[in-house]
Amino acid sequence: MEDVLGQVLERLKVALKRAIIDPYMFGWVQRCVDDLVEDYWPEVVHELRDIFHRKVGRQKAEVVLGQPIDCCGCPCNPLRRALWGFRYRYLPFDKGFWHCLRNPCWLLFFVLSVFPLFSACNVSCSLCCPSSPCSAPATSPVLCAVR
């Protein structure tokens, strides 16, 4: 069992290094990231092995699913489409940080959210996270998305 786990962890390391590669990232940053993965990988392997050994023998809990939730709603609302566009411009799910740095709209939204000018941070936070409004005026919307 240990041999299989070791092979899986080695493949996971290769997959992680492949997933981190970003064509827009500077070469020296990529080398630093690769060095960080190499430095911290033994600790990650130790933690994953520990978690695996604790979980072996336990049965999975039965998952009870409720009714499916309609996540999209009516797509014909123009205000909803504008909100989707804003959220995608500000928090794109398919672009990395280095790709976002080349987008002037993203830079504008980022600068407005970093500096609490005229409550622009609270407005952008309420647009990005309507379900959990920010309590602090200088909180970045990026932090709200993590909550």
| Tens digit of pLDDT at every position of the chain (147 positions) | 667 888 999 999 999 988 988 888 889 999 999 999 999 999 999 898 888 888 875 555 555 566 554 455 566 678 888 888 888 887 888 888 888 888 888 888 777 777 765 555 556 566 666 555 444 444 444 444 444
Q: What pTM value is reported for the model?
A: 0.42
> How far is 134 from 126, CA to CA, in rounded Å?
7
Instruction: Give residues with Cβ within 8 angstroms of 25, minimum separation 6.
Output: 33, 96, 98
